[in-house]
Structure 1
Amino acid sequence: MNVSTLQQKITALKQTKKAILLAHYYQVPEIQEIADFVGDSLELSRKAASTEAEIIVFAGVYFMAETAKILNPSKKVIVPDVNAGCSLSDGCPPDKFEEFLKNYPNHVVVTYINCSAEIKTLSDYVCTSSNAIKVISTIPEEQKIVFAPDRNLGNFLIKETGRDMVLWEGSCVVHEAFSLEKLIRLHQKNPDAVIVAHPESEAHILRTAHYIGSTSGMINYIKSSPKTKFIIATEHGILYKMQQEVPDKILIPAPSKEDNTCACSECAFMKMNTLEKIYTCLLDESPEVFLEQEIITKAQHPIQRMLQI
């Protein structure tokens, strides 16, 4: 089936099955086009918590679908591909993290939402890149903090909040793929361009940025900026939605270390989702996300604390 036919069939199935399609900004354009809602982790969490749909189709990565299930335990949550993982989530195994926490018994545990449901059960707070500073700021200054799993976001938060936090040594392979040397050369060719970066990027990339923020934060910044040209240091998929929001502005993807065709950074996990897989998973209502009730109950607490903040 061609793209248009698949999109029509998916749209029809959503109506028949009372389903909602949630898609992350990093999904391919043809998925974003038919999604009921496109957003970053925080926005998708909020949407998942408020939906009245009977079935949630989550086009993102697996930890996001788990979060949707935690917030909607009575609803069916399905994913196009169960193997769409995340280097941050995969790099923080629950057994090793639990052992790690034994070294810091008097610490509050704050975890970035990019982690497994099991890691969330070991947390006091969950945060996203959109609200991490706000979450950290609600914790009393004298309280010691462990932050996981992203060391780059953690270092950024230490710099922004002045808090001395213990960090788990995890990172996002996508946001560590940017080349500083190539970025500098690109900016020299475009001296009028504003560099915007996601806080999961490495410190040397963040030092070059004129603005640092979450996926939605970058979109809002570019929309409100009087500037007309921007270099974007995050996953390349965001440019599709950004360009729709600011059709009159020039958006340039930040260059990666690898010599690929677009010279930009892409998340291979996010790109595992396709229209064909979405159609099949909605037709079969599978693969479904299953979580034990105990995990759901324990993981709800830190997520709800985040949503309340």
Structure 2
Amino acid sequence: MVATGDVLAGRGSPRRTDDGYVGVAADADWAREVRRLADERGAVLLAHNYQLPEIQDIADHTGDSLALSRIAAESDAGTIVFCGVHFMAESAKILSPDKTVLIPDERAGCSLADSITAAQLREWKAQHPDAVVVSYVNTTAEVKAETDICCTSSNAVDVVDSIPADREVLFCPDQFLGAHVKRETGRENLHIWAGECHVHAGINGPELAERAAASPDADLFIHPECGCATSALYLAGEGTLPKDKVKILSTGGMLDAARETGATSVLVATEVGMLHQLRRAAPEIDFRAVNDRASCRYMKMITPAALLRCLREGADEVHVPADIAERARGSVERMIAIGKPGGGE
């Protein structure tokens, strides 16, 4: 009998390209081999909501990055395979320092996390020496280490509200989430870094208005990182869109809302990978993307070939220096202590 791995090898091995590893089809042989190798390594497979559907379907757990990192920390598995972008695998390592953390392709970065460096944050802090730094979890370990308290998209308002009103707040790196927090808290001493996720920033207000006008009965699920979030709230305030249909939600919040909504159709403003989980959660609802081109090339670098290579070779391992990890862990734990940590993105 020919081993599954030999069959896969005969049909082509993973090949490295600039856009990720290719050369392996996500068929039944691939799925059996992935599960065999995961068991052999004692690994738990985690997949972010924006991953390819076949990666989501093979994973042990699917969700947002913070929820997955916390699941990994509580798991008995000695190895964590994080199918997501690099800062997410770093977060898993921060919360599980004694475990081996692998990412199927270490080149999978993040435009939002890259929009502020630790050096830039230190310079900003020097300009506001008494300010409290609040950083979105979508940041590098080095930035988290320079942060007083992290936040998620679902608890950012609660985190900022927990800070004394007379203290300045430096909020980074996402300007659209920062604008949402400022609008909700009414806080004038909140300074916002001008960073963005290139995918979410590209989902714009006119596009949302056009899609909503064409589907007047649809609910709108809008991620607060989106460039269209402010426009949607403005249109709702003006009466152009029904207020009760406009929902600003994290990815975890979208799944909760999908299970609870009475709508038969929903327009979704976030990365298109989220549609797979929404359709699984509520198959009777017609979920459609506001922008069907809103696909993150970095998320999609975690291909079936990359995952197979990762499990075969133990690549790519993620390391976070102990001093950086300890300081970064403190900023995450202070967020969790406030409560309502919710979803990571």
The answer for the alignment partner of 1:83 in structure 2 is 107
Aligned residue type for 2:206 = E
Aligned residue type for 2:265 = K
Query: Contact 1:254–1:264 (CA<8 Å) still a contact in 2?
Result: no
Shift of 1:206: 4.9
Quickly say closer, same or farther: Cα 1:206–1:28, change in 2 above 3 A.
farther
Partners of 2:180 and 2:318 lie apart in 1 by 33
Please tell me whether residue 181 in structure 1 is matched to residue 217 in structure 2: no
Shift of 1:168: 1.1
Shift of 1:205: 4.4
Query: For 1:155-185, what per-residue CA distance to the aligned partner results, in whole angstroms no more than 9, with x for missing partners?
Result: 1001112223111110110111113323222
Query: Contact 2:48–2:62 (CA<8 Å) still a contact in 1?
Result: yes
Partners of 1:50 and 1:79 lie apart in 2 by 19
Partners of 1:149 and 1:11 lie apart in 2 by 37
Segment of structure 1 superposing worse, 225-234 or 46-55: 46-55
- 3-state DSSP class of the match of 1:175? helix
Quickly say closer, same or farther: Cα 1:171–1:189, change in 2 above 3 A.
same
Aligned residue type for 1:125 = I
- 3-state DSSP class of the match of 2:271? coil
Matches within 5 A, 1:131-142: 131-142=155-166
- 3-state DSSP class of the match of 2:329? helix
CA RMSD for the aligned pairs?
Answer: 1.3
Query: Contact 2:220–2:268 (CA<8 Å) still a contact in 1?
Result: yes
The answer for the alignment partner of 1:260 in structure 2 is none
TM-score norm. by structure 2 comes to 0.85
The answer for the alignment partner of 2:131 in structure 1 is 107
Please tell me whether residue 213 in structure 1 is matched to residue 249 in structure 2: yes
Shift of 1:5: 1.4
Rg larger in 1 or in 2? 2
Query: Contact 2:66–2:91 (CA<8 Å) still a contact in 1?
Result: no
Partners of 1:307 and 1:290 lie apart in 2 by 23
- 3-state DSSP class of the match of 1:174? helix
The answer for the alignment partner of 1:276 in structure 2 is 305
Query: For 1:243-265, what per-residue CA distance to the aligned partner results, in whole angstroms no more than 9, with x for missing partners?
Result: 0110111111002xxxxxxx331
Query: For 1:238-287, what per-residue CA distance to the aligned partner results, in whole angstroms no more than 9, with x for missing partners?
Result: 000100110111111002xxxxxxx3311111001011111111111111
Identity %: 39
Quickly say closer, same or farther: Cα 1:45–1:308, change in 2 above 3 A.
farther
Segment of structure 1 superposing worse, 112-121 or 136-145: 136-145
Query: For 1:274-303, what per-residue CA distance to the aligned partner results, in whole angstroms no more than 9, with x for missing partners?
Result: 111111111111110111111111111001
Quickly say closer, same or farther: Cα 1:118–1:135, change in 2 above 3 A.
same
Aligned residue type for 2:231 = H
Query: For 1:74-117, what per-residue CA distance to the aligned partner results, in whole angstroms no more than 9, with x for missing partners?
Result: 11001011111111111112112211211010001010011110
The answer for the alignment partner of 2:325 in structure 1 is 296
Query: Contact 2:133–2:170 (CA<8 Å) still a contact in 1?
Result: yes
1:74 counterpart (77, 98, 107): 98
- 3-state DSSP class of the match of 1:48? helix
Partners of 2:177 and 2:43 lie apart in 1 by 34
Quickly say closer, same or farther: Cα 1:179–1:147, change in 2 above 3 A.
closer
Query: Contact 1:42–1:130 (CA<8 Å) still a contact in 2?
Result: no
Query: Contact 2:103–2:315 (CA<8 Å) still a contact in 1?
Result: yes
TM-score norm. by structure 1 comes to 0.94
Aligned residue type for 2:67 = E
Please tell me whether residue 172 in structure 1 is matched to residue 197 in structure 2: yes
The answer for the alignment partner of 1:61 in structure 2 is 85
Shift of 1:42: 2.8
The answer for the alignment partner of 1:127 in structure 2 is 151
The answer for the alignment partner of 2:218 in structure 1 is 193
The answer for the alignment partner of 2:171 in structure 1 is 147
Shift of 1:143: 2.0
1:254 counterpart (275, 281, 290): 290
Please tell me whether residue 204 in structure 1 is matched to residue 231 in structure 2: yes
Aligned residue type for 2:199 = V
The answer for the alignment partner of 1:258 in structure 2 is none
Structure 2's unaligned 5+ residue stretches are: 1-7, 9-24, 236-244, 339-345
Structure 1's unaligned 5+ residue stretches are: 256-262
Query: Contact 1:197–1:206 (CA<8 Å) still a contact in 2?
Result: no
Shift of 1:195: 1.2
Partners of 2:187 and 2:205 lie apart in 1 by 27
Query: Contact 1:24–1:38 (CA<8 Å) still a contact in 2?
Result: yes
The answer for the alignment partner of 1:259 in structure 2 is none
2:335 counterpart (286, 293, 306): 306
The answer for the alignment partner of 1:24 in structure 2 is 48
Shift of 1:26: 0.1
Matches within 5 A, 1:236-247: 236-247=272-283
